[in-house]
Amino acid sequence: MRYAYLTLLFVVVSAVSVLGFRGSLTQRTPLEVFPDMDRQPKYKPQAESAFFADGRSDRPTPAGAVAFGRTSLAGEPKFLAADDHFYRGMNADGKPARGYPSEITVDAKLLERGELKYTIYCAPCHGAVGDGNGITKQYGMGATPTYHDDRLRGTPEGDLYNTITVGKGNMLSYADKLEPADRWAVVAYVRALQRAQVGTPADVAPAFKSELGLK
């Protein structure tokens, strides 16, 4: 019987040691082995401050401060990214925009840039000519759409840009790899690939026909 009392006493002492007197009030600071930064010197919203003369922790915006702007559909912060056409490929009504934003000039330099980025990021799946027969198809990649069907020929440039930005289907977003201007360069190059598939000798400027053996 004595052992039973000793065992009970041991259990009670152990429980009190571990749990303490639950619900009781004390002025003593509890022992914290790992405080985990629970009490940091910081201000909470609208809290009082003894540091500033007006006693407020919330401070007015400094003169000359510039807003940081909005974020894109891919979640990337952009400095004053208020141009929906350039940064999102959208019109003011939220629909994909046709054509290119005013910041983009479609010229040989832009197409060269687009070809470079397309070759790095797009050609492995979409193929060098945009027909969906990239190298990944040889390794079991599912069907990759061709750029040369009527649906993608007629889709707005902003829709192509938006797909690069946020991804679509099995294609992930490339916003972390391609800056907005480079995405537009890729869009322009895709349009060039589409145009090349339906081009005729009549489309060649007279100054260049001799180089191609045309009359």
Residue 201 amino acid letter: P
- Assigned domain for 185 exists: yes
Which residues are paired to 168 by β-bridges?
171
Q: What pLDDT, on a 0 to 100 scale, did the predictor assign at position 92? A: 84
- Assigned domain for 178 exists: yes
Domain residue limits at 179: 84-200
108 vs 138, higher pLDDT: 108
Contact 130, 187 (CB under 8 A): no
Average pLDDT for residues 116-126, to the nearest whole number? 95
Q: Is the pLDDT of residue 113 over 60?
A: yes
Residue 96, phi then psi, degrees to nearest 5: -55, 135
- Assigned domain for 97 exists: yes
CA distances from 4 to 10, 13, 168 (A): 10, 14, 70
Please classify residue 23 by burial: count the beta carbons closer than 10 Å to its beta carbon, then call 0-12 exposed, 13-18 middle and 19+ buried. Answer: exposed
Reported as a single tens digit per residue, the pLDDT across 67-102 is 665 444 444 455 556 688 998 899 988 899 999 998
- Assigned domain for 113 exists: yes
Half-sphere exposure of residue 212, counting CA atoms within 13 Å on the CB side?
12
Reported as a single tens digit per residue, the pLDDT across 172-184 is 999 999 999 999 9
pTM: 0.62
Q: What pLDDT, on a 0 to 100 scale, did the predictor assign at position 71? A: 47
Residue 102, domain CATH: 1.10.760.10
Domain count, the chain: 1
